[in-house]
Amino acid sequence: MSSNFRSRLQSKALLVGTLITLPVPEQDAEVQTAIAALTKTCRATGLPLGIFADSAKSAAPYIEKGFSLIAISTDCLHMARSARAELGAIRSEG
């Protein structure tokens, strides 16, 4: 990536995310290579870097790598987890 990456973007931060309709495993080698390249570029330019994580546990490695903006899950995932928990509670009471 070019040295004027940040100036061309005119952004305040970069948020790495996944496409919900076509999920790619976070552990995929190509995904990890892309995240590493973005991390390196953002560190070099001073651009804050963020990412979506599905849990606090999965967020920890990114915090260690210097990500400063962490979104824990999404509204859809939180609702789905809550719905599963409520359904499980109803089934166990019945």
pLDDT of residue 68: 92
Closest to 17 measured CA to CA, from 70, 80, 78, 82: 70
pLDDT tens column, 54-82: 788 888 988 998 899 998 877 888 898 89
pTM of the model: 0.62
Say if residue 23's pLDDT is above 60: no
Dihedral, CA of residue 69, residue 62, residue 31 and residue 82, to nearest 10: -70
Helix (H) or strand (E) holding 61: helix 56-64
More confident residue, 8 or 37: 37
Name the pLDDT band for 48 (thresholds 50, 70, 90): very high
